[in-house]
Amino acid sequence: MAQLLLVEDDAAIRGALIRVLTEHGHAVTSTASAMTALRHVLDTQPDLVLLDLGLPDLSGYEALRMMRAVSAVPVVVVTAHDDEQEIIRVLDAGADDYVVKPFGVGQIEARIRAVLRRASQRDAREGKGSGPLAAGGLRLDPDAHEATLDGMALDLSRREFDLLHYLTLHAGQVVTRRDLLTHVWQMPYGGADKTVDVHISWLRRKLGETAQRPRYLHTVRGVGIKLSPPG
């Protein structure tokens, strides 16, 4: 059973979609506002977000970009426009797929299945569900979403955990910022390197190190970041 978050401000459409998606075996949480949706993404970590672009508090594009800054959750955008530029804009903003209003029940369900299938295949490639990882005194359990350093629990945000997980999975290898944007932020067409740098800085602080005195996260100038345990 997939846990879906439906973000739709039209009560009639929202009710109809909840009924249809539930009949297809999904567990559905719904909201009419972008800000509430963002809180749900952070707090409940749904399997997929179905996001309408016409929201009352923020535009769907802004909501999508904010989601992408904190989560890799798959997002299917619902749009009333089917012109090419609109679709390109939606996909470039970080959507995994889109559906144009009006749409049939079969179409929306097929899109959801396809996106969930791709997300599952991506997780398998990136080692999610492969069991605990270790590097020196660092231990990560991706399934339990837990990380410890020298036996002490690390208080990590979802993005910090995903970042540390990817680096640990590739321990001893230099990982470029583009790699991180693609695999952690789900932004294969580029994004702000500053976002990566800020999260690396936050992660270093929680690992008890600095860029000048690294223990685990070593900067390879002009190339990227390498996770290598001390000693």
Domains of the chain, earliest start first:
3-125 (3.40.50.2300), 133-227 (1.10.10.10)
pLDDT score for 69: 78
Q: Could you read off the pLDDT of 64-99 as tens digits, one per residue?
A: 888 887 787 889 998 887 777 877 877 877 888 888
pLDDT digits (tens, 9 = 90+) for 4-61: 999 999 899 999 999 999 999 999 999 999 999 998 888 888 889 999 988 889 888 8
Contact 142, 187 (CB under 8 A): no
What is the per-residue pLDDT for 134? 92
pLDDT at 218 over 80: yes
**pLDDT tens digit string along 200-217?**
999 999 999 999 999 999
**98-140 residue pLDDT tens:** 888 888 888 888 889 888 887 766 665 555 555 789 999 999 9
Has residue 187 got a pLDDT over 80? no
Q: Is the pLDDT of residue 192 over 90?
A: no
DSSP the chain: --EEEEE---HHHHHHHHHHHHHTT-EEEEES-HHHHHHHHHHH--SEEEEES--SSS-HHHHHHHHHHH----EEEEES--SHHHHHHHHHTT-SEEEESS--HHHHHHHHHHHHHHHHHHHHHTTTTS--EEETTEEEETTTTEEEETTEEP---HHHHHHHHHHHHTTTSEE-HHHHHHHTS--TT---HHHHHHHHHHHHHHTT--SSS-SSEEEETTTEEEE----
Q: What is the mean pLDDT of residues 160-182?
A: 89
